[in-house]
Amino acid sequence: MNSQPKSLKLIALLLSVSVLLQSCTVYQQTTVTLKEAAQLETKAKIITPSNESYNFSNIELIDGQFYGLALKTSKTHRQLKDIIVSGFSTKKNYVRINLEKFEFNQIYLEDVSKSRRQTGLLIGVIVGGVLAYLIGSASHELNNHLFDDVKFQ
């Protein structure tokens, strides 16, 4: 026997999807220099000559050297573990990667306004879908109860 109504399962699924998709980041179409990226202190995506991409939470300039901060659980950390700088105090759960030992072609910064719009639109669509489903289910149930005793000839 199914103890949970289908509507609760649908709501849980849609909320899970919305949480997962909120982590999506939209990047600007124009490239910047390392110096500009360090000054703006925003998320950055670096593209290598072999077309690999690495995401950093921000880029820092310390004593004339550029470093990228990456989450310890990120794909970037796993792929670039050989050039992680130890001995520097960094934010908790982040590693500092020396970008001077790293060959790349392009740097793209996060487009904060587009990322927020995309997240807002996604949440709106999900909430609208849940409301439409709930209203449709409620009206179907209401129709069933209203016309239980009515017999059409």
Q: Does the pLDDT value for residue 152 go beyond 60? A: no
Say if residues 76 and 104 touch (Cβ distance below 8 Å): no
What tokens appear for 152 in the block? 């059409």
Which has more confidence, 58 or 114? 58
pLDDT at residue number 55? 92
Taking alpha carbons only, the member of 7, 27, 11, 19 closest to residue 115 is 27
Q: Does the pLDDT value for residue 9 go beyond 70? A: yes
Residue 81: pLDDT band by 50, 70, 90 thresholds?
A: confident
SS3 131: helix
Q: What is the tens place of the pLDDT at every residue in 92-105?
A: 788 899 898 888 88
State the helix-helix crossing angle for 112-146 and 6-21, rounded to 10 degrees: 170
Task: Give residue 108's Cα distance to chain centre.
Answer: 16
Residue 38: pLDDT band by 50, 70, 90 thresholds?
A: very high
List Cβ neighbours of 145 (8 Å cut-off, separation of 6 or more): none
Cα–Cα distances (Å) from 104 to 50, 89, 94, 125, 135, in that order, read 9, 25, 21, 38, 52
Place of tokens 């110096």: 35
> Once rounded to an integer, what is the mean pLDDT over residues 54-58?
92
β-strand 106-110 against 44-47: which pairing, if any?
Answer: antiparallel
